[in-house]
């Protein structure tokens, strides 16, 4: 027993796997058991590690100390950052000297271009945040002069943009019921899962709990959150009656003085029985491994966090960096980053042409931003025009004067267009300044402009009927064009969807059995579920039946299709609507689209009618408004409040309601 060590435990687990026995979850348990034996002095403690000190390890050690002591980051965050930074440095310097002063913005750009596309948005954000943090550390500690953090762009991902995954009430009960509460471990795990489910604590906050953090007399729990924050939360009264006996029944030596003695990874393991019951097998993802280096014995970073195998530090028993797999279907969660077609390197030019240094920087910037999930269709075109303008001015670097001159070149354009053009250049200049210190970033005060939304046209029921009737009479060789546009315009009128959202629907997104539409990653990357009225569901079912009869065996996944079997484009939908509006007298005759009510006004009509109905029904509109904002896919509820000031009838109803409430509170 005295000779027991990690190598023997590893050999034991390997033999079990070869024998066909499952070893899932046994490795962490074996490490905990070995650590317990060492604390009881049954097994000799290993000699202290003496890692081979290298410049890379020394720099990573300084960075780790900076994150822990100066930034106050949690161990989990630190352990996420270090492998990413270590890989960046390994790829940049390899076996050569660690010349940190030679780092440039191009190094970070090349690293991101190589790896960002294969990552999920969450993992890409972590990579970007780690690089920015490391570059700021280098500047603060005098390793470099230029702040390369500005050369690391943001990732196209927005908080709360996807529909969250959650456990149903019966699933939670099955998970809790799968625990054997007749054992100390089962009672402990039951208490941990209750903390996660009932109080909404993070896994890291749960495993950091100490017994003295629970004040049974006051009915409070001390939570150690992010950034070294301490918060006190009330405990449900019945918990105070149930948990003290539970905690006393736990054998004393099972609890580590620093915490609950449960690795964070084990919390995910507690849910595996439920995953198997629900037929949700875990999906292994690709792993990132740092280049192999001489390895020394692992060491524990601090009490309560096990040994360093999971840290993945180069030269410290480095493990693997495993991002979530992006090859499988994630339903409404964000899988891989959205990259525009041709999002790779765009440095090619026509034969015989040369590209200026600024032009090359523009192409590199576009490729980098696209690798991080941005489409940049209009900004890319604008930046290329700006680079061509700079070539005509024979200017080696960006100046605020030249940027302003280019932004205001369309003399007849609206101020909003000028401000947008200057904003595109400003963001590029911020990135470019890390490479070319001579770059001037235009001040935000230049060309100030506040966006003003166009007053909506509120279609009447009679106008909607005329438009749909006109769509049904569209010339159509196969008879599909007319029914497609009639169904599309009807759907927009009764759901308030954006035009782009309706045209992006695939067949799999239309659940006619449950009457539910799945809107995936639209404006600002948001996803949502849209319930349908039964009459709408019947109309969509009739359209699909007509589509299948007219074009059987279609290869496209699109829901709204043209007579050629391709997805209807947004330009075609808007143009068709404009022409039908001219035929119905809603727009003046014109060669092109003309001016008048827009297809987007269908969305405004839906929102206004909903709000008017709530006011007339006597509902508390302020409480109901977040429901409408969620249904419409607004990022902030203040975007929904805009209708109250944009529509006179709504403004009058809101004022009337306010006066009634004021009269009611008078003595």
- Strands 516-519, 528-531: parallel, antiparallel or unpaired by DSSP? antiparallel
Give Cα separations from 539 to 297, 444, 483, 569 (angstroms): 67, 50, 11, 21
Distance in angstroms (rounded) separating the CA atoms of residues 659 and 615: 14
**Tokens linked to 425:** 């250049």
Residue showing tokens 């029944």: 249
Residues in Cβ contact with 550 at an 8 Å cutoff, skipping those fewer than 6 apart: 478, 479, 480
Q: How many residues does the chain have?
A: 667
Element (H, E) at 528: strand 528-531
Catalytic residue among 498, 520, 521, 567: 498
DSSP string, 14-73: HHHHHTT---TTHHHHHHHHHHHHHHTTSSPPPPPP-----HHHHHHHHHHHIIIIIS--
Identify the three-state secondary structure at position 97. Answer: coil
Q: Does the annotation mark 365 as catalytic?
A: no
Say if residues 404 and 429 touch (Cβ distance below 8 Å). Answer: no
DSSP string, 277-293: HTT--------EEPPP-
Catalytic residue among 31, 384, 449, 523: 523
233 forms bridges with which residues in the sheet?
A: 221
Say if residues 608 and 458 touch (Cβ distance below 8 Å). Answer: yes
Catalytic residue among 466, 520, 603, 605: 603
Instruction: For CA atoms 456, 459, 463, 464, give the dihedral sign.
Output: positive
Residues in Cβ contact with 302 at an 8 Å cutoff, skipping those fewer than 6 apart: 75, 258
Q: Does the annotation mark 498 as catalytic?
A: yes
Residues in Cβ contact with 390 at an 8 Å cutoff, skipping those fewer than 6 apart: 356, 358, 398, 402, 406
Q: Does the annotation mark 600 as catalytic?
A: yes
Identify the three-state secondary structure at position 363. Answer: helix
**Tokens linked to 291:** 């280049």
Say if residues 551 and 478 touch (Cβ distance below 8 Å). Answer: yes
- Burial label for 592, CB within 10 Å (0-12, 13-18, 19+), is exposed
DSSP string, 315-330: TTT--EE-PPP-SS--
What is the SS3 assignment for 190-236? HHHHHHHHHCCCCHHHHHCCCHHHEECCCCEEEEECHHHCEEEEECC
Say if residues 156 and 121 touch (Cβ distance below 8 Å). Answer: yes
Tell me how many helices (H) and strands (E) the chain has.
25, 8
List of long-range contacts for 449-454, beta carbons under 8 Å, 24+ apart: 449/415, 449/416, 449/418, 449/419, 451/416, 453/642, 453/646
Q: Does the annotation mark 634 as catalytic?
A: yes
Q: Does the annotation mark 226 as catalytic?
A: no
Q: Give strand ranges (E) for 430-478.
A: none
- Strands 528-531, 288-289: parallel, antiparallel or unpaired by DSSP? unpaired
Say if residues 614 and 621 touch (Cβ distance below 8 Å). Answer: yes
Distance in angstroms (rounded) separating the CA atoms of residues 146 and 579: 56
Q: Does the annotation mark 643 as catalytic?
A: yes
Distance in angstroms (rounded) separating the CA atoms of residues 384 and 370: 15
Positions marked active-site: 498, 523, 600, 603, 634, 643
């Amino acid at each position: 027993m005295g000779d027991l060590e990690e190598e023997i435990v590893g050999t034991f687990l390997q033999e079990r796997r070869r024998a066909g026995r499952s070893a899932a979850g046994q490795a962490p348990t074996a490490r905990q058991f070995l650590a317990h034996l060492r604390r009881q002095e049954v097994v000799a403690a290993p000699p202290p590690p003496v890692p081979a000190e290298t410049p890379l390890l020394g720099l990573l050690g300084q960075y780790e100390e900076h994150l822990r002591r100066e930034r106050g980051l949690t161990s989990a965050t630190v352990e996420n950052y270090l492998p990413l930074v270590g890989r960046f440095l390994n790829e940049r310097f390899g076996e050569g000297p660690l010349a940190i002063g030679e780092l440039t913005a191009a190094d970070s750009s090349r690293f991101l271009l190589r790896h960002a596309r294969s990552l999920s948005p969450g993992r890409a954000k972590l990579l970007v945040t780690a690089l920015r943090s490391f570059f700021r550390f280098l500047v603060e500690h005098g390793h470099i002069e230029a702040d390369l953090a500005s050369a690391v762009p943001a990732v196209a991902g927005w908080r709360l943009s996807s529909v969250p995954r959650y456990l149903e009430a019966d699933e939670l009960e099955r998970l809790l019921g799968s625990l054997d509460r007749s054992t100390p471990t089962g009672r402990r795990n039951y208490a941990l899962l209750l903390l996660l489910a009932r109080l909404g604590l993070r896994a890291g906050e749960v495993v950091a709990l100490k017994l003295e953090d629970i004040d049974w007399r006051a009915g409070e729990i001390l939570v150690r959150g992010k950034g070294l924050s301490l918060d006190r939360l009330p405990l449900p009264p019945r918990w105070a009656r149930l948990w003290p006996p539970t905690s006393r029944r736990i054998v004393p030596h099972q609890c580590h003085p620093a915490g609950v003695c449960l690795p964070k990874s084990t919390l995910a393991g507690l849910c595996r029985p439920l995953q198997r019951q629900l037929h949700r097998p875990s999906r292994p993802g690709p792993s990132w491994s740092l280049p192999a280096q001489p390895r020394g014995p692992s060491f524990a970073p601090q009490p309560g966090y096990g040994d360093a195998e999971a840290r993945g530090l180069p030269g410290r028993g480095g493990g693997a960096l495993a991002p979530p797999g992006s090859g499988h279907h994630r339903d409404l969660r964000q899988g891989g980053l959205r990259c525009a077609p041709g999002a790779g390197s765009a440095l090619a030019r026509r034969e015989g042409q040369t590209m200026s240094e600024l032009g090359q920087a523009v192409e590199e910037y576009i490729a980098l931003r696209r690798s991080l999930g941005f489409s940049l269709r209009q900004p890319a075109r604008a930046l290329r025009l700006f680079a061509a303008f700079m070539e005509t001015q024979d200017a080696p670097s960006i100046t605020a004067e030249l940027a302003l001159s280019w932004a205001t070149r369309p003399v007849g354009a609206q101020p909003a267009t000028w401000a947008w053009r200057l904003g595109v250049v400003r963001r590029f200049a911020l990135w470019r300044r890390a490479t070319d210190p001579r770059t001037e970033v235009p001040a935000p005060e230049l060309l100030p402009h506040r966006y003003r939304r166009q007053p909506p046209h509120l279609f009447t029921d009679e106008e909607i009927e005329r438009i749909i009737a006109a769509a049904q009479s569209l010339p159509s060789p196969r008879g599909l064009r007319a029914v497609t546009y009639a169904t599309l315009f009807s759907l927009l009128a009764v759901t308030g969807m954006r035009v782009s959202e309706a045209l992006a629907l695939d067949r799999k997104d239309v659940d006619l059995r449950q009457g539910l539409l799945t809107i995936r990653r639209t404006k600002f990357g948001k996803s949502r579920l849209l319930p349908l009225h039964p009459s709408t569901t019947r109309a969509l079912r009739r359209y699909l039946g007509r589509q299948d009869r007219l074009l059987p065996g279609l290869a496209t996944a699109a829901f709204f299709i043209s007579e050629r079997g391709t997805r209807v484009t947004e330009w075609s939908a808007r143009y068709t609507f404009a022409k039908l509006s001219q035929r119905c007298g809603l727009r003046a005759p014109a060669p092109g689209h003309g001016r008048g009510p827009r297809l987007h006004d269908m969305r405004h009509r839906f929102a206004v009618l909903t709000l008017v109905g709530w006011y007339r029904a006597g509902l508390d509109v302020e409480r109901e408004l977040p429901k409408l904002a969620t249904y419409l896919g607004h990022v902030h509820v203040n975007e929904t409040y805009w209708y109250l000031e944009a529509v006179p009838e709504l403004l009058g109803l809101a004022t009337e309601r306010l006066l009634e409430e004021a009269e009611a509170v008078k003595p």
